[in-house]
Amino acid sequence: MTKKSPATRPSDATRVVLFDADGRARKASAHALRLQLADGRSLTLDLSQAHDGVVALLAEHTDPRQQAGLLVRPDNADALSVAVTATPLVTTTGTPATPPEVELDIQFGDGTRQRAGVPGRKPIEKWVKSALYADAALTVRFVDEEEGRALNRTYRGKDYATNVLTFAYAETDDDPVTGDIVLCCPVVEAEARQQKKPLQAHYAHLIVHGVLHAQGYEHEDDAEAEEMEAIETETLQALGFDNPYEPVREI
């Protein structure tokens, strides 16, 4: 997977992120303007209904039960209509507030089920749904180094085991989201140690990364990588993890 080290920012800085109509991070053509507060809360100015004269101000937190919204619509005679909402229709990353349905098959290769730190079904399902934009049928498989190397050699022509492989089967945008996400446990564990990250956080990142690949996202060039990394960062932070592309601060 592609890794880039963005410029470091002060931990208490307020960040402004623009989203397009698909919920993807961009520098222009804003769909939403998000103010990220230092304590983890945020305010989002939703412009998705601006063509109807509606602007929504959404208060967000990592706990979706705490989300609240304020809809503002200009009326006649300089009047202003205001409505309070319970939750936004979509999250700031563009995924539905009510997660899509997923047919999830979790598989374990030789000896992987017993490895320390391999996540259980509940967190895996949560991480998968957090990155889904539509209903999907996905397989998440954990493998050892031998199987991971064989798959990488057979399908990518690279004779080594890599952290995550995604096999996406949808050929057009209209096809249902289907795919296999293969994680090589020894590689994931080694990377987590090297990067000084919690193993669960690294597994969560790689599964989110794989789910995006299954939906057609790529990182072959800088623009694609920037878009994909922005979505991954937003998704991981909403799940309560740190930015996966920022270096871990030494204590």
- Residue 180, SS3? strand
Neighbours of 57 (CB within 10 A): 15
Q: What is the mean pLDDT of the chain?
A: 79
The range of the structural domain enclosing residue 150 comes to 102-239
Residue-wise pLDDT tens digits, 60-115? 555 544 455 565 666 555 665 555 555 445 555 555 556 688 999 999 999 999 99
pLDDT at residue number 162: 97
Could you say which of 55, 88, 121 is where a domain stops? Answer: 88
**Strand residues in 93-244 grouped as ranges (E):** 102-108, 136-143, 164-168, 177-184
The alpha carbon torsion through 155, 160, 166, 172 (nearest 10 deg) reads -40
pLDDT at residue number 48: 64
| Domain contains 93 | no
CA dist 105 and 119 (Å) reads 14
- Record the tokens describing residue 82, joined without a space: 């205001």
173 and 83 share a domain? no
- For strands 68-74 and 55-60, give the pairing: antiparallel
| Domain contains 189 | yes
Into how many domains does the chain fold?
2
120 and 72 share a domain? no
Q: Which of 143-168 are b and which e, b meaning 16 or more Cβ less than 10 Å from the residue's Cβ?
A: bbeebbbebbeeeeeeeebbbbbbeb
| Domain contains 97 | no
219 assigned binding-site residue: yes
pLDDT at residue number 2: 39
| Domain contains 10 | no
pLDDT at residue number 49: 62
Residue 236: its H or E element: helix 222-238
> Residue 127's closest CA among 52, 235, 26, 30?
235
pLDDT at residue number 8: 31
Instruction: Please indicate whether residue 235 or residue 95 has the higher confidence score (pLDDT).
Output: 235
Instruction: Please indicate whether residue 104 or residue 22 has the higher confidence score (pLDDT).
Output: 104
CA dist 216 and 16 (Å) reads 26
61 assigned binding-site residue: no
Q: What separation, in Å, do the N-terminal and C-terminal C-alpha atoms of the chain show?
A: 27
Residue-wise pLDDT tens digits, 50-74? 655 566 666 655 554 445 556 566 6
Report the share of the chain in percent with pLDDT over 70: 59
